[in-house]
Amino acid sequence: MAHKIPQRTARVLWSLSKRQHGVVARSQLMELGLSSEGIRHRIGKGRLHRVRPGVYAVGRPELTRHGCWMAAVLSCGPEAVLSHDSAAALWEILPAERGGIEVSVPAPADRRRPGIVVHRRTIIGPADVTRRHGVPVTTPICTLVDIAASMTRDQLESAVNEADKRNLTDPEALRSAVDKLRPRPGVANLRETLDRRTFTLTDSELERRFLPLARRAGLPPPQTRQHVNGFRVDFYWPALGLIVETDGLRYHRTPAQQARDRMRDQTHIAAGLTALRFTRAQVRFESGHVEATLSAIVRRLPV
């Protein structure tokens, strides 16, 4: 009975473990009043299970993916945060890490941990850190910079698209943030990728990606870069009365841009044309949706 803890303390411990996906740090247990002997007693009784140095699972040893991430962060100290590929997986920018769990700690710290890739860094600050599902983690923008250093352009484009699709950031905000960052690995690669994908996607590259989708949907070759009803359009099928327009950004077009888009579409519709609008990111990353939409239009038009 000497190791029994007050009922209120037990409730606090249980609540803490739930918020932390089933794990607690040794330092947290001691702050709640447990002694080293009390911790050993609970390990012996199967109430605590050591999962990492100084970190224990409460109740049962099995951990969720979030529990594994939380345990890794707790084992690296109070200022540690999930980062790089692991942060990208937590944000769902990447489906999974390409290696072990990655954690960032302040530069003076030497916290090597088995099974954890520990990054010691000086330039990460409060603005780079947040929480997601209770796990301390680098912000989406900081995470994208970190993973940019070790990604190909196509991989990075896909990650930026996922962040955009999940409303974590948008290309304009990301590009603006990159300009304000101090030089560090990943910044130049991310800036170059954003400039290429978001702001300088060429007509020829758009055509190279879009035309095979139109062909597979059953459409004949379109006219490109034509003026119709006073507007320059991307793709035009005069015999079908079909226009396809593309936007440079996936989301977050300004109200003025949206108003111009509506006016263009309304003008084409009033002239008896079918006007479709896709984002260039959809053409690049969601080709199946684009092709399916075109196929549905083909079935309605006299091809």
Residue 113 gets which letter from DSSP? Answer: B
Which of 200, 220, 235 is the last residue in one of the domains? Answer: 200
Mean pLDDT of 166-191: 82
Which CATH number fits the domain that encloses residue 283?
3.40.960.10
CB–CB of 238/229 below 8 Å?
no
- Residue 244 banded pLDDT, cuts 50, 70, 90: very high
Count: domains in the chain:
3
| Residues of the domain holding 107 | 65-200
Quick one: 82 and 189 in the same domain?
yes
Query: Is 160 or 270 the better-scoring residue by pLDDT?
Result: 270
Query: Is 261 or 303 the better-scoring residue by pLDDT?
Result: 261
Beta strand 101-106 with 116-121 is parallel
Which of 63, 81, 109 is the last residue in one of the domains? Answer: 63
According to the model, what pLDDT value does residue 252 have? 43
Q: Considering only 96-100, 135-139, 202-206, 244-248, which range has the smallest mean pLDDT?
A: 202-206
Quick one: 179 and 229 in the same domain?
no
Beta strand 274-279 with 242-247 is parallel
Quick one: 85 and 172 in the same domain?
yes
Quick one: 58 and 81 in the same domain?
no
Quick one: 150 and 83 in the same domain?
yes
pTM, whole model, 2 decimals?
Answer: 0.66
Quick one: 9 and 104 in the same domain?
no
CA 75 distance to own-chain centroid:
25
Q: Is the pLDDT of residue 258 over 80?
A: no
Quick one: 104 and 53 in the same domain?
no
Which CATH number fits the domain that encloses residue 1?
1.10.10
Q: Is the pLDDT of residue 291 over 70?
A: yes
Quick one: 182 and 74 in the same domain?
yes
Quick one: 88 and 194 in the same domain?
yes
Residues in the chain, total: 303
Quick one: 187 and 77 in the same domain?
yes
Q: Is the pLDDT of residue 4 over 80?
A: no
Share of the chain above pLDDT 70, in %: 90
Quick one: 70 and 57 in the same domain?
no
Cα separation, 206 vs 248, in Å, equals 10
Q: Is the pLDDT of residue 198 over 60?
A: no
241: left (phi over 0), alpha (psi -120 to 50) or beta: left
Q: Is the pLDDT of residue 215 over 70?
A: yes
A 10 A CB-CB count for 50 gives: 13
Which of 200, 235, 270 is the last residue in one of the domains? Answer: 200
pLDDT, tens digit, 9 for 90 and up, residues 79-94:
899 999 999 999 999 9
Quick one: 214 and 292 in the same domain?
yes
